[in-house]
Amino acid sequence: MKTGFVGMFLGALVIGAWSGEAQMPVQSGGTSQGTPQPGGGAALPSSFDASGSAAKPQQNDPTRRGETPPPTLLGMEIPLMDPASDTASYNGGLFDVGNNAAVRARFEKYLQQIPDDSAESKRYRKIIDEILKLTQRGGHDSHYSIGSETLIRVGKALYQANEFPGDGGQSGVLASAMVSALDVQRANLSKAAQNAAIDAEIDKLVRKMDHANTKNAWAARNFEKHKIKFTNDMKDSQHAIAEGTASVAEKKTEKGVNTTAIAAALFEAKVNYQFVLLTIFTQRRFDHVVIGTRVYRHLFKDGDTKLQVKEDSQFGKIFSQGTGMSPTINALDSAASNARREVDQNIQAVHSALACNRLGEATQQLIAAVAIGEYMQSVATFPTEARRRIAQYWTLRKRAYTALNARDYATVEEIASKMKELDTDFDDSLLLSYTTGKKRQSDLAIRNAMKALQAGDEEKFNKFIEEAGTIWPRNPNLDKGADMLNKIDAGDPLKEEFRNLYKLGEFRRIAADRERFKIVNMDPELAKQYEEVITLVMKIDGLLEQLKTVAQQDTTLGPCMAYEKLIEWQKEDNRYTQDKEMMIALKDYESLAHDFVQALRDAEGCEKRGEYGSALSCYYRAQCKYPGSNIAKEGIRRVSDIIVNATYP
Amino acid sequence: MATRRSKKKGGRGRRGANSNMLTLVIIAGAVLVLAALLGSGVLKGRGGARESEPVASFRIADYRRDGSRFASAGNTYVFDGRVENIETIGNSRIVSISIQDNPDERLPLLVPGDVRLRANLTRGDHFIFETTCTTGKAQDGSQVKGVLIVRNAQSK
């Protein structure tokens, strides 16, 4: 029997046992009929519905749209279960679990259990091992027969094992099945003895009828000579023959009934025994299955080992799918033996992986071992410390999946980091790529929302904020969006306040509270004013900073230049004269460049009074104080023209 | 430093011989005092100004404040200065000069196009300017007060 076939068979039984009923495999030989899941890993949710739950891959299969399939969850460390598609993998096959929560709960319960290393458990294991030795082929007691001492020892040992609580009563069930089979065999022997007696009686009757026939023939030959004398004898003979014939027929009928009863009882006994074996198999008591199949050949020596299951039944399909032949007791024996061997190999692999701190691989192997051979000795006695380490890793993995489902990507990354610490081989690249991508998508949506807000498009703002929240509900930047939404609600009084301040030219106050006033951007007209205010204030601040630098670099000419620039800018834009900071700066530079400023003011005063000679002199003085002065230069040019073009007496 | 030269004449009446004598004595005394002062060079001034009669000195600061006060009829102001800039507008020129020991000051002088100077004004050279402070009339009829007009100039 091929391993894949055994695995497929066992997988179906395991899942059936854990979920309450046997499930049919949906796939075998690694060919998926459902969601493509390399390695049986769970798919990361590629999208979410409005309720926040991950869209099922079956309903949203990206490969059908020509897209790249999403990466698998946490790499290969979840070999058995695929929570996204409710499938379990074993030996390359995927099986429909239906109730993966039960599987997880079972495994977690196992991890929390204390290893069964008690003396009682050891005694139980010893008894089972002794039974297995007794039933081994080629042993010194191999030539036993029904009712032999060996079978009696096996039966007694099974009843002893039945007393152990961990046995779950399976030994008793098997022993009872054996006793029942033996009882049937005994009953059949009794019926066989009855048939032998019937045969003897028939023989006697036949002999008696032969005698009567002979007597009758003799009487017939002498009838014509002694007609009257022999008539009665003939009659007696004929009567005896008739009676004998009827008796023989009667006996034969009785024998036939017995034979039929024997066959029926034998068939019924086989069916009952096979049913017990299959039941034990589904309970994954593989030691008992092996014992039962070995005993079977000695309970039923007719050589018929065919399992009495319908080919279209679940068991029939499982066994016939692999070979195309009718299922037999030998197939059951082989499957159970393979399972025992594979579970032991899995446990060895767990120990090796733990020694190298490869917790992901250890978890994978232990899940497979527990799923298949939960009652095997190697699984039941798995050490506490190793269970604790795997439980720690398993809990992290579970939390990662929960966080992933909740789209809490920051937590996922945190957990992945811890898993990396525990498992040196843990490959978190796929996971981190996925979470990073999602976080960026969410941040991008928030940025778009902010842009929409600045553009005054409330509808788009809401749409993008919703998108950002859907992608990453716990995105810390969402708080900004929430703040903005609150401000939208409280926006009207703020707009009024903004209008008043703008009207009064209190740009500085608006700029100082720019975050609070940002909401007015929802109104296109106010948005323009807001931008104007912020731009102007920023420009003024920039200019003042530049002037400050220049004035500090040259304390003689710098203040003159700064003063003149401020005057020039105020002439260019009247809004500058309303800016408090600019006016303060103007006063400061006026003080620092006093002579220059005074000369200009004197010049202007003289010009107004018609004292052009004096005005020109003042402008020249200002030019001496600050040779680069445009105001002085312009004044000189203007006054010179007036003087030159005037007429003098 | 600038000086003002007055062209006004003295008294006119005669009231008797005593008064004539007294007048002569006063004039003679004054002439003597003036001769003594000229001899000592007190009225020459560092600005290079020359004048026939001593008056209050010409301060540029005062001129900047109120130039028209220097525009009394007949006053001539002589400046010894260095030409800092010459601005030619039409046929006329505005010459700004700096006075010795006052480098931060510029005195603007108008050289009308019809004035023939003895010297050719060049930038950076020192000249002695003979000027009058005049009030003119602009094209719109308004007054153009306190303009120093160069009447003559000679190299120093």
A131 & A259 share domain: yes
CB contact under 8 A, A616 and B108: yes
Query: If pLDDT is split at 50, 70 and 90, which confidence band does B24 have?
Result: low
Q: Is the pLDDT of residue A50 over 50?
A: no
Nearest to A643 among B60, B65, B110 (CB): B110
Residue A270: which CATH number?
Answer: 1.20.1270
Mean pLDDT value of segment A125-136: 86
Q: Residue A425 burial (CB < 10 Å; 0-12/13-18/19+)? A: middle
Mean pLDDT value of segment A427-433: 84
Instruction: Out of A185-199, A224-238, B78-92, pick the least confident.
Output: A224-238
By C-alpha distance, which of A628, A559, A634 is closest to A598?
A: A559
- Name the token pair of A94: 């995927």
- In a domain? residue A474: no
Q: Give the model confidence (pLDDT) of A540-574 as tens digits.
A: 999 999 999 988 889 889 999 999 999 988 888 88
Residue A647 distance to chain B (closest CA, Å):
5
Q: Is the pLDDT of residue B33 over 60?
A: no
For B147, the closest chain A residue by CA position comes to A613
Q: Is A56 helix (H, G, I), strand (E, B) or coil?
A: coil
Q: How many residues does chain A have?
A: 649
Element (H, E) at A563: helix A557-572
Residue B94 distance to chain A (closest CA, Å):
7
A363 & A344 share domain: yes
Q: Is the pLDDT of residue A612 over 90?
A: yes
- In a domain? residue A566: no
Q: Which residue out of B147, B150, B151 would a mutagenesis test of the A interface target, given it has the greatest number of A Cβ atoms within 10 Å?
A: B147
Which chain A residues touch B72 with a CB distance below 8 Å?
none
* Whole-angstrom distance, CA of residue A591 vs CA of residue A585: 10
- In a domain? residue A439: no
CB contact under 8 A, A610 and B94: no
* Whole-angstrom distance, CA of residue B120 vs CA of residue A159: 145
Interface of A with B (CB under 8 A): 602, 606, 609-614, 616-618, 620-621, 623-625, 636, 640-649
Q: Is the pLDDT of residue B25 over 70?
A: no
- In a domain? residue A44: yes
**How many other CB atoms are found less than 10 A from the CB of residue A273?**
24
Q: Is the pLDDT of residue B35 over 70?
A: no
Last residue of some domain: A304, A326, A354? Answer: A304
What's A292-341 look like in SS3? Answer: HHHHHHHHCCCCCCECCCCCCCHHHHHHHHHHCCCCEHHHHHHHHHHHHH
Question: Where is pLDDT greater, at A13 or A585?
Answer: A585
A57 & A92 share domain: yes
CB contact under 8 A, B136 and A649: yes
Q: How many residues does chain B have?
A: 156
Mean pLDDT of chain B: 73
Which chain A residues touch B142 with a CB distance below 8 Å?
610
Angle between helices A594-609 and A630-645 (to 10 degrees): 30
A158 & A284 share domain: yes
Nearest to B68 among A611, A621, A648 (CB): A611
Question: Where is pLDDT greater, at A214 or B23?
Answer: A214
Question: Where is pLDDT greater, at B46 or A418?
Answer: A418
Domains and CATH numbers, chain B: 1-156 (2.40.50.320)
Q: Is A40 left (phi over 0), alpha (psi -120 to 50) or beta?
A: left
Inter-chain Cβ pairs, chain A and chain B, closer than 8 A: 102
Nearest to B104 among A606, A616, A624 (CB): A624
Q: Is A31 helix (H, G, I), strand (E, B) or coil?
A: strand
Q: Is B50 helix (H, G, I), strand (E, B) or coil?
A: coil
What pLDDT shows up at residue B12?
40
What pLDDT shows up at residue A96?
43
Q: Is the pLDDT of residue A382 over 70?
A: yes
A211 & A241 share domain: yes
| Rg value, chain B, Cα | 19
A168 & A40 share domain: no
Mean pLDDT value of segment A103-125: 84
Instruction: Out of A172-176, A508-512, B18-22, B130-134, pick the least confident.
Output: B18-22
* Whole-angstrom distance, CA of residue A465 vs CA of residue A459: 10
CB contact under 8 A, A602 and B64: yes
- In a domain? residue A436: no
Which chain A residues touch B148 with a CB distance below 8 Å?
613
Q: Is the pLDDT of residue A358 over 60?
A: yes
Last residue of some domain: A257, A288, A304? Answer: A304
Instruction: Out of A161-175, A478-492, A540-554, pick the least confident.
Output: A478-492
Last residue of some domain: A283, A304, A325? Answer: A304
Q: Which residue out of B72, B104, B106, B143 would a mutagenesis test of the A interface target, given it has the greatest number of A Cβ atoms within 10 Å?
A: B106
Q: Is the pLDDT of residue A37 over 50?
A: no
A9 & A85 share domain: yes
What part of B 43-82 touches A (C-beta under 8 Å)?
60, 63-68
Q: Give the model confidence (pLDDT) of A269-326 as tens digits.
A: 888 888 898 888 888 888 899 899 888 888 887 777 787 777 666 666 666 655 666 7
Q: Is the pLDDT of residue A226 over 80?
A: no
CB contact under 8 A, A621 and B142: no
A211 & A124 share domain: yes
* Whole-angstrom distance, CA of residue B155 vs CA of residue A556: 35
Q: Is the pLDDT of residue A19 over 50?
A: no
Residue B105 distance to chain A (closest CA, Å):
6
* Whole-angstrom distance, CA of residue A566 vs CA of residue A563: 5
CA dihedral A139, A141, A143, A147 (to 10 degrees): -140
A346 & A393 share domain: yes
A240 & A143 share domain: yes
Q: Is the pLDDT of residue A77 over 50?
A: no
What part of B 123-142 touches A (C-beta under 8 Å)?
133-139, 142
Looking at the structure of chain A, the number of domains it has is: 3
Mean pLDDT of chain A: 77
Mean pLDDT value of segment A201-212: 85
In Å, how far are A503, A547, A639 from A538, measured between CA atoms? 19, 14, 38
Which chain A residues touch B149 with a CB distance below 8 Å?
648
Q: Tell me the sheet residues that pair with B78.
A: B3, B130
Mean pLDDT value of segment A481-507: 76
What pLDDT shows up at residue A487?
64
Containing structural domain, residue A205: 119-304
Q: Is the pLDDT of residue A404 over 80?
A: yes
* Whole-angstrom distance, CA of residue A20 vs CA of residue A15: 8
By C-alpha distance, which of A571, A56, A104, A186 is closest to A370?
A: A104
Query: If pLDDT is split at 50, 70 and 90, which confidence band does A47 have?
Result: very low
CB contact under 8 A, B64 and A606: yes
The answer to whether A456 and A104 are in contact (CB under 8 A) is: no
Q: Is the pLDDT of residue A432 over 60?
A: yes
- In a domain? residue A264: yes
Mean pLDDT value of segment A476-483: 76
A186 & A281 share domain: yes
Query: If pLDDT is split at 50, 70 and 90, which confidence band does B31 have?
Result: low
CB contact under 8 A, B96 and A620: yes
Instruction: Out of A189-198, A306-315, A524-533, pick the least confident.
Output: A306-315
What pLDDT shows up at residue B148?
94
Q: Is the pLDDT of residue A83 over 70?
A: no
Which chain B residues touch A614 with a CB distance below 8 Å?
63-68, 145-146
- In a domain? residue A463: no
Query: If pLDDT is split at 50, 70 and 90, which confidence band does B73 have?
Result: low
Percent of chain B with pLDDT over 90: 33
A105 & A207 share domain: no
What pLDDT shows up at residue A589?
93
CB contact under 8 A, A642 and B138: yes
Q: Could you tell me where the DSSP H helices lie in A356-383?
A: 359-373, 377-380
- In a domain? residue A48: yes
Please check whether residue B147 touches A, CB under 8 A.
Answer: yes
What pLDDT shows up at residue A518?
82
Which chain B residues touch A557 with a CB distance below 8 Å?
none
Q: Is the pLDDT of residue A58 over 80?
A: no
